[in-house]
Amino acid sequence: MLLHLSTWQEIEDLLRRSRTVVVPIGSNEQHGPTGLLGTDWLCPEIIAHEAHRRGDLLVAPTFNVGMAQHHLGFPGTIALRPSTFMLAIGDWVKSLAAHGFEKIYFLNGHGGNVATIEAAFSEIYAEASYAGRARGFSLKLKNWWDLKGVMSLAQRQFPAGHGSHATPSEIAITQWAYPDAIKAANYAPQIAPSGPIREAADFRARYPDGRMGSDPAQATPEKGGELVAQAVSSLLDDVRAFAGEEAP
């Protein structure tokens, strides 16, 4: 079930049997010469939407802008400051919790979001702690590539040149979902360099085409479909386990 394609009455009815919701979250940022700008929010959305088709799952609208300041040297990137991102996550959580959702699962597609999302969770929990009350809901963060079996599959598919940004695995997933948007390029070097992440000017100078340690030319829609199938199966299991957690 997709929240944005439902009516408020349908959500009210759903809350009588389930209080769990999945929020795809990512970033709109450059992904090298062939990666779509929406890659980091498209991947969790693709996986979550496919899971909703195969299982009993409520999926919220995708949170599609994240902490991507280091990519602002490339046109099309849209970023939030960490402080702004944390406040926005807090408002999303409080809105859903106010309606009665008790298990709010964030499926993330951008590594640069992790520290800020976890800090936002800590701020949300701290409000309840300082008030001396139970929070009434639980939060969970999971990167799609950390779902069971996904990274091991990606390592078998791409034993060399997987890298950490504009990876063949994430680009393969978008190719599977959006075959009409597949791009091609001549990479030089074939496998991009790796290194630190700092401010936007430094990133553009170190990684002039936007890639980090990756060779996206290895991506294919078929490999993307395999990754989506594994991620969907593991996501349904992981959300089911989270929903079944007993409150103390």
The per-residue pLDDT for 133 is 87
Q: Does the structural domain 3-243 have CATH classification 3.40.50.10310?
A: yes
Of 13-17, 50-54, 111-115, 242-246, the one with minimum mean pLDDT is 242-246
**Alpha-carbon Rg of the chain, whole angstroms?**
18
How many H-runs (helices) and E-runs (strands) does the chain carry?
8, 3
Flag whether pLDDT at 247 surpasses 90: no
Flag whether pLDDT at 219 surpasses 90: yes
> For 55-133, where are the alpha helices, taking DSSP H only?
82-98, 114-131
**pLDDT digits over 58-104, tens only?**
999 999 999 999 999 999 999 999 999 999 999 999 999 999 999 99
Flag whether pLDDT at 244 surpasses 90: yes
The per-residue pLDDT for 135 is 87
End-to-end CA distance of the chain: 29
* Euclidean distance between CA atoms 28 and 41, whole angstroms: 7
Average pLDDT for the chain: 97
> How confident is the model over 118-124, as a mean pLDDT?
97
The per-residue pLDDT for 164 is 97
What DSSP state is assigned to residue 62? P
Handedness of CA 95, 98, 101, 105 (dihedral sign): positive
Flag whether pLDDT at 140 surpasses 90: yes
Question: Are 139 and 93 contacting, i.e. CB atoms less than 8 angstroms apart?
Answer: yes
- Nearest 5°: the CA angle 151, 155, 161 is 120
> How confident is the model over 181-192, as a mean pLDDT?
95
Find the length of the chain. 248
Q: How many CA atoms lie within 13 A of 184 on its CB side?
A: 2
**pTM: predicted TM-score of the whole model, two decimal places:** 0.97
The per-residue pLDDT for 58 is 98
